[in-house]
Amino acid sequence: MLFKDEKIALSVKGISKTFQKHKNKTIKAVDNVSFEIFRGEVFGVLGPNGSGKSTLIRMISTLLIPDTGNILVFGFDAEKEANSVRNLVNRVSVEASFFKKLSAMENLLFTAGLYGISKAKAREELLRIFDRIGLSRKRIHDPLEDFSRGMQQKVAIARAFLTSPNLLLLDEPTTGLDPRAKKEVQALIQEVCKEHDTSILLTTHDMFEAEELCGRVAIFHEGKVQKMGEVMKLKAAIPGGPLVSLEDVFMHYTGTTLKEADSGFEEAETLQEVS
Amino acid sequence: MQAVLKEFRAAWAFVERNFNLVKRYWKWEVVFFAYTVANSVTMGFIGKGVENFSGTKVDVNFLILYMLIGSILWGYLSILFEIVAETVAWERWEETIEYTFMAPVSRATHLLSVCLFSIFYGLVRSGLILLVVSWFFKLDLSGANFAGAAAILGVGSFSFIGLGMIAAILPLISPEKGVQVVHIFQALLLMFSGVYYEVEVLPAWMQTVAKLSPATYALQGMRASILDGQPFSALWSFTYPLLFMGAVMLPLGIFTFSKMERYAKKKGLLKRNG
């Protein structure tokens, strides 16, 4: 049985996560969040830095255990059936995390092994993916430390695609990429979703990217879902709509611009470091 | 069958990755090898110098070998613990830890394959050190039962791995100081186990602790096979406690690590850089 639930790729119900920062200080990173992603859908989670997006992704990836609520991936419980969930999920995060001294091929074959993919199949598949995402085959045996940030991110995307995930978690995958690489990655996301029956959860603070890729979005702020729905409907529902931008929608529901929210988070981080 | 094949592929992936890392960091491997040889040679000279400062006639060859076995076991345990503990620490430093921990691999496969690599690597390294050092001191090893010593080390490795897994918890729950504490843990283990002396010289309470340490039996067994050249049949008194301890400590290590992994996932400790 591949899936327990054929229609809902991801069901998040009432999840919360609080971290103990110092002796008497706690931070509620995710606060009673619920939403569903349908099979084949690209769902966006929009929010500034520190809004809890990455914590949410980590809980879905089985890397964090929520304090309350539950997460189902195609019907499998992320806490009780973690291994079944891991077989269905992969993730691309903002940092392209690799063994930097090892080559792209060595890193990717390691991933293939972890997911039980034979070397022969992985090699064949990797060459195809490399061609598709515009990575030169000549570089495949070079150490990752010799790659640019954009190229490392492409290898990270290749790593996720290699395992053919049914649910792909993209945590700000285009942050730090040049405009051309960004466009290529976005095109790839659209292709994967259409051709490979992959459902995608995309977290981003790039409103244009969200508008381009996502059917539905959730506006995330201070660990909570402030508003959720189809992009066009969200835009139409606020004063001036539907010709407003997603940034306007964000401001309408959170009372702040994304930039202000970002700088507020950075300021809080700096103060924390100083204290 | 498919599930077993999948776990085998994952296990091999860990072994191959560690081999690739050793290959890429080969210059550092040479540096650390030289460091361990220097330590062992120092211990050898302490053995050689005993006759001078005690003023009595001693079997210098025996004494040098006695010290060297302690030193080699120390080096072997360092490698074993380091590799197992670095399962967490290194991956956290490279920021790959989350990708490894979210892969569909059982933690037992993950840890055991890393340990398998560390045993193989540790045995090869220890053998090379013994070779270099014995050449340095022109030691007479004609009567030594090397196969017996390797077997003792191999059997002892099961419990060392169990302890290593428990030690690997430290960097999991303390990214900043966990690895350093692993070294303290290793030093304490050897202190109680008679690394450069017989456990009989220890105070009574320490001798009781020594009985619970697999390193005690590994050291005694290795000395019996290399120094006295005892055959396999005579090594049983050291082998069976090691087998028993391995049977307890290996599953205990996996169980404890899994429990602490859950704790780390509750507290959000996997991601921090240390």
Position A272 pLDDT exceeds 60: no
- Interface test mutation site (partner A, options B5, B17, B88, max chain A beta carbons within 10 A): B17
What average pLDDT does chain A have?
Answer: 87
In this complex, do A62 and B21 lie within 8 Å of one another by their Cβ atoms? Answer: no
8 A C-beta contact, residue A111 and residue B99? yes
A97 close contact with B: CB closer than 8 A:
yes
B220 pLDDT exceeds 80? yes
Task: Return the residue matching tokens 């087998």.
Answer: B243
Question: Residue B265: which of A65, A98, A115 has the nearest Cβ?
Answer: A65
Note whether B19 contacts A: Cβ–Cβ < 8 A.
Answer: no
Cβ of A111 and B265 within 8 Å?
no
pLDDT (0 to 100) of residue B126: 85
> Beta partners for A38?
A8
Structural domain boundaries of chain B?
Answer: 2-267
- A167-171 vs A89-92, strand pairing mode: parallel
Mean pLDDT of the A93-121 span:
92
In the predicted model, is pLDDT for residue A275 greater than 50? no
Please give, rounded to a whole number of angstroms, the shortest distance from the CA of A130 to a CA of chain B. 20
User: How far apart are the C-alpha atoms of B36 and A78, rounded to whole Å?
Assistant: 45
Q: Which among A17, A61, A102 has the least Cβ separation from residue B102?
A: A61
CA-nearest residue of chain A to B101? A63
pLDDT of A145 higher than 70: yes
CATH architecture of the domain A8-274 equals 3-Layer(aba) Sandwich (3.40)
pLDDT, position B51: 78
Q: What pLDDT does residue B237 have?
A: 93
The answer on pLDDT for A269 being more than 60 is: no
B14, B96, B268: residue with CB nearest A99: B96
Dihedral over alpha carbons A101, A107, A109, A110 (to 10 degrees): 100
Q: Residue A256: exposed, middle, or buried by beta-carbon count in 10 A (0-12, 13-18, 19+)?
A: middle
State pLDDT tens for residues A39-91. 999 999 998 888 889 899 999 999 999 999 999 999 999 999 999 999 999 99
pLDDT at residue A252 in the model:
85
What is residue B99's predicted lDDT score, i.e. its pLDDT? Answer: 93
A187 or A32, greater pLDDT: A32
- B78-123 pLDDT, tens digit per residue, is 788 878 877 777 888 888 889 999 999 999 999 889 888 988 898 8
State the Cα–Cα distance between residues B105 and B114, nearest whole angstrom.
13
Q: What local confidence, expressed as pLDDT, does residue B139 receive? A: 81
Which chain B residues touch A91 with a CB distance below 8 Å?
98-99, 102
pLDDT at A274 over 60: no
Sorting pLDDT into bands at 50, 70 and 90, what band is B189? confident
- pLDDT average, residue stretch A240-267: 74
B28 and chain A in contact, CB less than 8 A: no
C-alpha angle B185-B186-B189 in degrees, rounded to nearest 5: 90
Q: What is the dihedral of CA B206, B208, B209, B212, to 10 degrees?
A: 150
B208 contacts: CB under 8 Å, gap ≥ 6: none
CB contact under 8 A, B268 and A19: yes
Cβ–Cβ < 8 Å for A162, A125: yes
Report in angstroms the alpha-carbon separations of A234 from A80, A252, B217.
Answer: 35, 10, 71
Q: Report how far residue A233's alpha carbon sits from residue A254's, in angstroms, rounded to the nearest whole number.
A: 17
The answer to whether residue B95 neighbours chain A at the CB level (below 8 Å) is: yes
Residue A258: pLDDT band with limits 50, 70, 90? low
pLDDT at A192: 76
pLDDT digits (tens, 9 = 90+) for B105-115: 999 999 889 88
Q: Which of A140, A143, A136, A58 has the alpha carbon at shortest distance from A95?
A: A58
The pLDDT-based confidence of A271 (bands split at 50, 70, 90) is very low
